[in-house]
Amino acid sequence: MQVYRAEYALLPTGVRQNVRIHVADRQIVGVAEGPVGDASEIKIKGLALPGMANVHSHAFQRAMAGLAEWDAGGRDNFWSWREAMYRFAERLDPDSQLAIARFLYVEMLKAGYTAVGEFHYLHNQPGGSAYAPAPAMMDAIAQAANESGIALTLLPTLYMQGGVDGRPLSERQRRFGKSVDELLVMRSAMRGKPGVTQLGLALHSLRAVPSDAIRDAIAGVEATTPIHIHAAEQTGEVEETVAQLNARPVEYLLDTFGVDRRWCLVHSTHLSSGEIARLAQSGAVAGLCPNTEANLGDGIFPLESFLASNGRLAIGGDSHIGVDPAEELKAMEYSQRLALRRRNVAASAPQPHTAARLWSLAASGGAQALGLGAGAIAPGARADLVVIDTDHISLASRDGEQALDSYVFVAGKGAVRDVMVGGEWAVKNGHHWQEDAAAKDYRAAVTRILSV
């Protein structure tokens, strides 16, 4: 057993000083506050936070970040961006998938993410033919996670049709298409693979998966399986769902599929007041991706009402226009300030420091959404820690909670010093052991992709 003593630590009760964290067998087995103990304790200088989960990742999109920031006609929106993404995805193969994902996962770790939910639908070769073996692209994701050291919840994604009306997949969408049986066979093949910490299931959206297939897919997995789905990201999606299913997307999911704590509804941007309350009551997690949602012009999630209903939330990097959990939390809070013309919207009477409340909520909700026993510095949780350097210039002369505020709203990932995943240090003094090799392979892969 290792005993760490953190100068400051964010506990479920708030930021505390002089915290002993006992770690054994990849778990936290004890937490205590008090005076300095014996010399065997390993000192953690700075602020220790519970590890953060990135619950929604499309790893391949990291390589196209910044390539869709132009519009000659003044009509660019999510749907035109999607076509650009489809064109980019056609250029990828298992080797480039590995190089991109490995570099991204190293980036995530260095930024303070300790776990990732990979919402993976890039299953087939261009044109729709299966790889041999069929899960070749998922194998690349698992290898990237194994080599980087991040905890991976792999979410094989069902994608079957081109719209809620049941129209067939477009030519470019054929790379994503699998039947329920095909997907479940591929999913089973990933069980126990090195790098796969948890195995979940994703349903792309109500646009891409018919209701009967959703039922069949859920029936084909274990009762504790994390289930993720895109929901109500765009007003166009809401309108299409109402026209075809006579209900709003989140309303339909709640009414039809017994949504509960193992579900993560990604985005959930456009909710009615009734959906807000019911989603919160279900215990499901709203997987918010504030930077991507802003980049794509999706809209603003109703955070204040959702939190007032005791809703569960998590954050995701999605298209990876940014790779920084502090940046996601800042974007979440700032969108609320712009919409409501108030400050510190996410603060509460029990926790008046906005960053402390948002980090605690997102870490806990993210662990729930990925099916990981993590998300808190508490006995029984996975030993996932993020250590913030309180000597960083932007954190000078701050106490624990002020340091956390300044990390989230000022310094960002530049203040992350050390990162522990499952009791092992993946990042020390801001460096990951594989960062140079991963960057070299990523650069070579992107050069090949963009030369096509």
Residues acting as catalytic residues: 267, 318
Per residue, what are the HEC states of 105-139?
HHHHHHHCEEEEEEEECCCCCCCCCCCCCCCHHHH
Spatial distance between the Cα atoms of 394 and 250, rounded to a whole number of angstroms: 41
Partnered with residue 22 across adjacent β-strands are 3, 30
Could you give the strand order of the β-sheet that contains 385-388, starting from the edge strand earlier in sequence?
27-33, 14-24, 2-11, 42-50, 385-388, 416-421, 424-428, 431-432
Nearest to 404 by CA among 31, 50, 20: 50
Backbone φ and ψ for 68, nearest 5 degrees, come out as -120, 25
Give the dihedral of Cα atoms 35, 39, 42, 47; nearest 10 deg: 30
Backbone φ and ψ for 431, nearest 5 degrees, come out as -120, 140
58-89 per-residue burial string, b: 16 or more CB within 10 A, e: under 16: bbbbbbbbeebeeeeeeebebeebeeebeebb
Burial of 90 (0-12, 13-18, 19+ CB in 10 A): middle
Contact 207, 159 (CB under 8 A): no
Q: Who contacts 74 (Cβ-Cβ below 8 Å, separation ≥6)? A: none
Contact 377, 10 (CB under 8 A): yes
Spatial distance between the Cα atoms of 201 and 368, rounded to a whole number of angstroms: 14
Spatial distance between the Cα atoms of 305 and 301, rounded to a whole number of angstroms: 9
User: Directed axis angle between helix 325-340 and helix 354-369, to 10°?
Assistant: 120
Per-residue tokens: 163? 């719209």
